[in-house]
Structure 1
Amino acid sequence: MEKLRIVFVAMVAFVLVLEGVHGICNVSNDGLMECKPCIQNDNPTDAPTKACCAALESADFKCLCKYKDSYVLKTMDINSTRAMELPQLCSIPNAPVSCKSVKRGTPSN
Structure 2
Amino acid sequence: MVAFLLVLGVHGICNVSNDGLMACKPAIQNDNPVDQPSKTCCKALKYANVTCLCEYKDSYMLRTLDINSTRAMELPYMCKTATAPIDCTSARHG
Structure 1 residue ranges (4+ consecutive) displaced by more than 6 angstroms after TM superposition: none
Corresponding residue pairs, total: 93
Q: Is 2:55 the partner of 1:29?
A: no
Question: Alpha carbons of 1:15 and 1:87: their partners in 2 closer, same or farther (altered >3 Å)?
Answer: closer
Task: Tell me the equivalent position of 1:43.
Answer: 32
Considering only CA atoms, is the larger Rg found in Structure 1 or Structure 2? 1
Higher relative contact order (CA 8 A, sep 6+): 1
Give the CA deviation at 1:19.
3.3
Distance across 1 between alignment mates of 2:82 and 2:43 = 12
Structure 1 unaligned regions, length at least 5: 1-12
**Unpaired stretches in structure 2, ≥5 consecutive residues:** none
TM-score, length of structure 2 as denominator length: 0.86
**Aligned to 2:9, which of 7, 17, 20?**
20
2-structure distance, mates of 1:75, 1:18? 10
TM-superposition CA deviations, 1:33-89 (whole Å, max 9, x none): 000001000110000011100000010111110000000000000000011111111
The alignment's TM-score, normalised by the length of structure 1, stands at 0.75
Secondary structure of 1:21's counterpart equals coil
